[in-house]
Structure 1
């Protein structure tokens, strides 16, 4: 699954300087937490580690978030919202099926896709905070396959993609991307992730 963030446009309400500073500090902590969670996992992550990554004191971190569970909940909600927006965007963006699936691969295979890694950890965890459990219970991962299937089917109709069940091919393509994203590249000296062009060969007619 892809868990990318899409910047939301539109006018925003005016805020005071203190509110602006508070919002910036919260985003700074959440960004740091995302990286720490991705690296150390849900259990291994501590508030002190998040504070260190954010370059603030432990005490200051607790002024903005009561616990790492509160931070995790906000990160998961943002990731789910981002996933829904990202797949809606890919489905509606102009371009050929090849171009759309190339964008998908580029997004998932980013080296710093910490949001994606975090969500994989959440789905694999035996136990998560109650609010996180509620968020993921309302989220249907299979909707992603549903969003990709028409793109694959269009590519087959255009003669770009191989024959076969479009939903099954979409599932295989996404599964391959997910599996590659789960590889910790730092553990393998000579390993590097494949390019989007290479991944597209799974579907392209030769």
Structure 2
């Protein structure tokens, strides 16, 4: 669990590092410009670590499922090799998504100067200031975003349905409370992370 938490913290720190410095600069200086390639780089970094964080949370849900529902098999199944594979897979998929979306953004043509009505360089706002038709890029972004959100949430919800079922079969209240406490920090992180994503993109759509 702490191995996953360390990488989750790393991914979150990298995401914040890519976005926060420019945001803080914009709050204190009058010149709020960003270069085109700086904007693309900011989006690419945010995409890599945002997607990686999404699937790391799903991997952690599976880890909690094994710990609660299959405790005798936990050590054998959740080996260091599998944990490393799950984390590496999260980063790799984040890089694949970022490179794909960045490529289609760079394939668009842009005007000399554009105003981005957002505090970060998000895909939708970059595509919206393109002088060419961004339909393909926006459609691809929508498909990737829906796939990432639905697949990760499906893993998380399925894991916690089994966890909840197993916990409710524990006869003692203290035993149930102790088991739930091992999942509390993960559930809190999921609620904040996915709740923010769903709220922002539902409002944007």
Same fold? TM cut 0.5:
no
Task: Report the TM-score when normalising by structure 2.
Answer: 0.34
Larger Rg: 2
More helix by share: 2
Task: Report the TM-score when normalising by structure 1.
Answer: 0.34
